[in-house]
Structure 1
Amino acid sequence: MELELIKLTQTQFDELVFASENTSIKISYFFDKHTGEVGMLGDDIEVDPVLAECIEEEFGERYIRVPKIESRQSFEDMEKFTETIQDQKMKRSIERALSGGKGVFRRFKDTVSDDRELLEQWYKFKEQMNKERVLKMFEEEFIKLIIK
């Protein structure tokens, strides 16, 4: 199967990445392959009935569900980020935060938040990982996103 090429602005791509990060079970995001826009449908939000009908009628051809980044993938990102930390004391603190079960995401963020510079590095790292992941997820759907 041949890759479908879709050109997006940086803003459209950023919206797509944001949608893929949103793991709410009450909201579903859909990507319009013609316009590059992201639409959302959900029980607790006001829905444009025209958009809902279009998505239903053209699902698979024009609209596809935006793939979601799984919590397992986010956890792996935290582990990879931890490997990049030079300060051994901070690295051990973060490794301890990651070693527990429930509440691991909160503990990680709380620990990283102790160092403003490290927190900024984490956000940049996470953003880059998610951008790469979205590009890969779309290629698995035979869509190559070209960011202008």
Structure 2
Amino acid sequence: MQFELTKSLIESIIFSMEDQNGEFAFDASSGSVISLDSLMQSELDEMSEQDSLYSLPHWSSNDGFEIMEDFAESVRVPNVRTELEQVLSNGRGVFRNFKNVLSQYPQIEKQFHVFKQRKMRSVVVEWYNSLRESWGLEKLNQDFEEYDELIQADFEFQPYNHVKDSDCISIEAKKIAEELEAAHRGNLGKAIAHFWLRKFDYESSSGIGGLLCRTLSGDFAGCLLFSDCSSFAKNVVALTSVFVNQNYRGLGIARELFSRGISLLKEHGIQEFIIADSALPDYLEPLVARCGFEKKGSVYTADLA
């Protein structure tokens, strides 16, 4: 018996997968997840005859541990990553201690829940696609990355104001420079950090615009800045910089900055948005492609007309 995989059904399946104290299955005739422990054998036989009962995707504590390992490796805040890795290597009370560490860092804790949900959803979709194959149907290609609610609830986006925000941007840019210098030891790191900071030595502040992202308590989370090219090319802007504070990475803030920034530029009649920085990080390339940028040589351009 075929059925549709909805968002609410995915959430119900995930909830049951994590319950290690019972055995569950999906009943397509009722469209719900049911506990097998509460059914009589006669009821199970009837469902089997109707071909409506499906075992849920396999999930164990080992799978949960692997998610914690994968997440710890992805954390970009060095001290938090170290704490999480130490918990995972201790071997006792891992799940409880992992949660205890995350509770000290609320934003990273939220990142973990998003990360975990995304991983488990992919398992459910893979399970559903195997059923679709058995039904002679094409596989679904669904993207379940959902950061919007998290971003809307915990962050604010404001237009960049050079008078009010330049000092903040300078401080945050220096933090990124320190990261770059630490990642590339010796003179190489110093050189990379130097050229990164040069991006913020504006000849004139009048042509700099963009967006800032802050937490509800006012802490800097990220920014997207662009330069007006009207003095030599009308209706064109160029990306000056985009970066996210290391405490808030992985939440989709950069994506939201680009999305809102492009909407803002369209409202002001900008027709072309270019990225002429050959040092664009690799991890941003898929993002700018999704935002409509095309790579032409070493330059990315987005037609906003």
Superposition TM-score, scaled by structure 1 size: 0.77
Q: Cα distance, 1:41 vs. partner?
A: 3.2
Aligned equivalent of 2:14: 17
Q: Distance in 2 between the 1:58 and 1:100 partners?
A: 45
Q: Distance in 2 between the 1:15 and 1:29 partners?
A: 11
Structure 2 gaps of 5+ residues are 143-305
Q: Does 1:29 align with 2:19?
A: no
Q: Cα distance, 1:145 vs. partner?
A: 7.3
Q: Does 1:104 align with 2:94?
A: yes
Q: Distance in 1 between the 2:59 and 2:141 partners?
A: 20
Superposition TM-score, scaled by structure 2 size: 0.40
Structure 1 gaps of 5+ residues are none
Aligned equivalent of 1:83: 73
Q: Cα distance, 1:5 vs. partner?
A: 5.3
- Residue type matched to 1:30 in 2? A
Distance 1:66 1:145, change over 3 A: farther
Q: 1:114 aligns with which of 95, 101, 104?
A: 104
Aligned equivalent of 2:34: 39
Q: Cα distance, 1:95 vs. partner?
A: 0.5
Aligned equivalent of 1:58: 47
Contact preservation (8 Å) 1:17, 1:131: yes
Q: Cα distance, 1:70 vs. partner?
A: 1.2
Contact preservation (8 Å) 1:30, 1:64: yes
Q: Distance in 2 between the 1:145 and 1:33 partners?
A: 18
Output the aligned Cα RMSD.
2.6
Contact preservation (8 Å) 1:31, 1:37: yes
Deviates more, 1:33-42 or 1:67-76: 33-42
Identity of aligned residues (%): 26
Distance 1:28 1:133, change over 3 A: same
Deviations 1:51-79 (A, max 9, x none): x6432332382112223411111111111
1 or 2 for the larger relative contact order (CA 8 Å, sep ≥6)?
1
Aligned pairs, how many?
Answer: 136
Contact preservation (8 Å) 1:20, 1:66: yes
Structure possessing the higher radius of gyration over alpha carbons: 2
